[in-house]
Structure 1
Amino acid sequence: MSELKQEYTFHPADLIEYAMDKPVGAARAALAVGLEGVHVYPDIMIGELAGNMELNQRYLNKVVCALRKDSKNILGEMPADIQVSHFERIVG
């Protein structure tokens, strides 16, 4: 019986990946939850979502790849405009 029992470890990228083809509200919620504890401002990341789901899918794919690669350095994988927004927020 224990051979059949597999434990699942939650990875925030899984939730964001799941929400890629869902309405924008689901993508916003997935980013809010998936970016908890990551050293980024979720509201800036959420603000990047557009009304166009095709654009959102490309953006969310970048976020997923960055989270899977290194959740401690997600900003290093994000486009320059997002990095600038984060820097501006930190500087004030």
Structure 2
Amino acid sequence: MSERQQEYAFHPADLVEYVKDKPIGAARAALTMVLEETDVYPDVVIGELSENMEFNQHLLKQLSEALRNNPKKIISGMPNRIKGVQFERELGI
């Protein structure tokens, strides 16, 4: 990779970190894009967002860390509530 390509390398976690302190609509839009090709349904994580910015920042921090560990398989780094909802969704419950 050339220097120019390295400067503009995009990591999905960067977008999540950017929207941590943005309005909830921005976070929803970012999560829709970032989670598209992961092992978690975007609407599962989006459904956990609340009007409480501190809660959202904590959730998005966990998501960002999981994305940095493995951008495709993030379920293991998610809170138990999201793991449970994801599991129910996969079972069709």
TM over 0.5: yes
Partner residue, 2:54: 54
Partner residue, 1:22: 22
Larger radius of gyration between Structure 1 and Structure 2: 1
- Aligned partner letter, 2:23: P
Q: TM-score, normalised by structure 2?
A: 0.89
Is this contact kept in 1: 2:16–2:30, CA < 8 A?
Answer: yes
Once the two structures are superposed, residues 26-85 of structure 1 have per-residue CA deviations (whole angstroms, 9 ceiling, x without a partner) of: 011111111111121000110110101111001100000000011232110111111111
- Aligned partner letter, 1:54: E
Partner residue, 2:11: 11
Q: Distance in 2 between matches of 1:84 and 1:52?
A: 21
Partner residue, 2:76: 76
Partner residue, 2:91: 91
Task: Give the alignment's Cα RMSD to 1 decimal.
Answer: 1.4
Is this contact kept in 1: 2:37–2:72, CA < 8 A?
Answer: no
Structure 2: stretches of 5+ with no match in the other structure? none
Q: Runs of at least 4 residues of structure 1 off by over 4 A? A: none
- Aligned partner letter, 1:45: V
Percent identity, aligned pairs only?
53
Q: Secondary structure of the residue that 1:73 maps to in structure 2?
A: coil
Q: TM-score, normalised by structure 1?
A: 0.90
Equivalenced residue count is 89
Q: Distance in 1 between matches of 2:36 and 2:14?
A: 14
